[in-house]
């Protein structure tokens, strides 16, 4: 358990918090003293996560919330305020990601719309409902989970477009909310070891070799970044996208490895291969 207690007395709502990054973020906030509303479309799973937090001595409740439904997003915010008396932090983590079809033109309107509705519009709905309460708290913060997919092409067209949209929403909402005392930021993770990769350890091992830091991320890596941006330690940070990606977007590891291998095979001095 972390020794820091930056969120004593804070009330935190996290969407998509039943598992993975959301659950790790809930644990991080709870360990730092926050009261946490664990929301997820899968209520039984959310209840298990909340129960685990209570076993750690935290104050936590679960609430069923499909962020694609405005009424449920608003009800989740109302529940947090009713249960805890206020709302200080909103973490937009819920998402939907449909695998790409082999050909772009074979993609369906329904899948495209659903990915955007949950991932992008869901964050909009929750932020809209939460904002008055975040303003009232006097220390409000929104932290949204984006992705490197919103910055560079890694496939998943609709999901990536939604994540890119979240970066724009972060900037525009930050500009609107700053004068009202609310900060708005986004964390853009790279590959993170979650249940979405279950049974694909070999794929994760291959992916690890493409990261300059030599490994994929863990949910706790993202949770730490979220907690920082939500805390007073980031009091002069708003409207930013924080890449938490093991250096993936900064260094083209695969390219460097290819150049190095070619140099070794040819006996040439290693260069950068860019001309």
Catalytic residue ranges? 159, 163
Cβ neighbours of 269 (radius 10 Å): 6
Euclidean distance between CA atoms 217 and 35, whole angstroms: 26
Euclidean distance between CA atoms 47 and 38, whole angstroms: 8
Euclidean distance between CA atoms 115 and 129, whole angstroms: 21
CA distances from 196 to 176, 203, 212, 257 (A): 35, 12, 22, 28
Strands (DSSP E) contained in 25-129 are 35-40, 59-64, 89-92
The helix or strand, by DSSP H or E, that contains position 14, with its residue range, turns out to be: strand 11-14
φ/ψ (deg, to 5) at 149 = -60, -25
Strands (DSSP E) contained in 152-204 are 183-189
Euclidean distance between CA atoms 246 and 190, whole angstroms: 7
φ/ψ (deg, to 5) at 208 = -55, -35
Quick one: 196 exposed, middle or buried, by C-beta within 10 A (0-12, 13-18, 19+)?
Answer: exposed
């Amino acid at each position: 358990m972390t020794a820091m207690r930056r969120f004593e007395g804070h009330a935190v709502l996290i969407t998509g918090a039943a598992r993975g990054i959301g659950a790790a973020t809930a644990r991080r906030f709870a360990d730092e003293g926050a009261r946490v509303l664990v929301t997820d479309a899968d209520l039984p799973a959310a209840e298990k996560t909340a129960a685990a937090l209570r076993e750690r001595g935290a104050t936590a409740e679960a609430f069923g919330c499909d962020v694609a439904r405005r009424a449920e997003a608003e009800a989740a915010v109302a529940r947090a305020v009713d249960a805890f008396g206020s709302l200080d932090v909103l973490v937009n983590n819920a998402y939907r990601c449909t695998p790409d079809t082999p050909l772009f033109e074979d993609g369906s309107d329904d899948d495209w719309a659903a990915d955007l509705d949950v991932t992008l519009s869901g964050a909009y709905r929750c932020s809209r409902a939460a904002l008055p309460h975040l303003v009232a708290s006097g220390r409000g913060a929104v932290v949204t989970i984006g992705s490197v997919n919103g910055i560079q092409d890694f496939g998943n067209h609709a999901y990536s477009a939604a994540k890119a949209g979240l970066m724009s929403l972060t900037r525009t909402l930050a500009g609107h909310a700053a004068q009202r005392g609310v900060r708005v930021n986004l964390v853009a993770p790279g590959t993170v070891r979650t249940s979405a990769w279950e049974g694909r350890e070999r794929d994760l091992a291959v992916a690890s070799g493409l990261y300059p830091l030599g490994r994929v991320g863990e949910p706790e890596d993202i949770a730490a970044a979220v907690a920082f941006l939500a805390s007073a330690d980031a009091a002069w940070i708003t409207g930013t996208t924080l890449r938490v990606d093991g250096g993936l977007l900064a260094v083209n590891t695969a390219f460097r490895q290819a150049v190095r291998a070619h140099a070794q095979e040819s006996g040439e001095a290693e260069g950068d291969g860019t001309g």
